[in-house]
């Protein structure tokens, strides 16, 4: 069965420090991987995606994510966190194989960046 895990419900980091939000997945074939962010009282926004090619993907607001096939992970990273990065982050995966192309979502990780 396809699944996505975000092992940390909450991540706390000091402003200016690097941040990592973890995501691991399980699909039967090769994945398309996505990160979305939900700021307080705002809608979900697309951050970045991995489709193919370079394992390091760069996205909006200085975020990047690294696809690791052997570890089936797609961790979100940022070299220097801002207070304004505080939000709810969702990882999602879609199996590119087969007819079922439903997008599977993680439960979300709440990121708090402390000044």
Please give the DSSP secondary-structure letter assigned to residue 100: -
Minimum distance, C-beta of residue 18 to another protein, in the bound complex (Å): 25
Minimum distance, C-beta of residue 21 to another protein, in the bound complex (Å): 14
Question: CA 86, CA 102: separation in Å to the nearest integer?
Answer: 28
- Closer to another protein by CB, 46 or 61: give it: 46
| Residues of this chain that bind another protein (CB under 8 A) | 32, 34, 36, 42-46, 49, 51, 90, 94, 96, 100-103, 105-108
Phi, psi of 85 (to 5 degrees): -80, -10
């Amino acid at each position: 069965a396809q699944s996505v895990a975000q092992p940390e419900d909450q991540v706390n980091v000091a402003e200016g420090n690097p941040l990592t939000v973890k995501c691991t997945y399980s699909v039967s074939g090769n994945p398309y991987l996505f990160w979305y962010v939900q700021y307080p009282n705002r809608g979900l926004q697309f951050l970045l995606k991995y489709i193919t090619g370079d394992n390091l993907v760069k996205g909006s607001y200085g975020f990047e994510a690294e696809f690791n096939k052997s570890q089936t992970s797609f961790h979100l990273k940022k070299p220097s966190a801002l207070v304004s990065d505080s939000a709810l982050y969702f990882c999602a995966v879609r199996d590119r194989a087969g007819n079922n192309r439903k997008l599977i979502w993680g439960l979300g990780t709440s990121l708090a960046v402390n000044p």
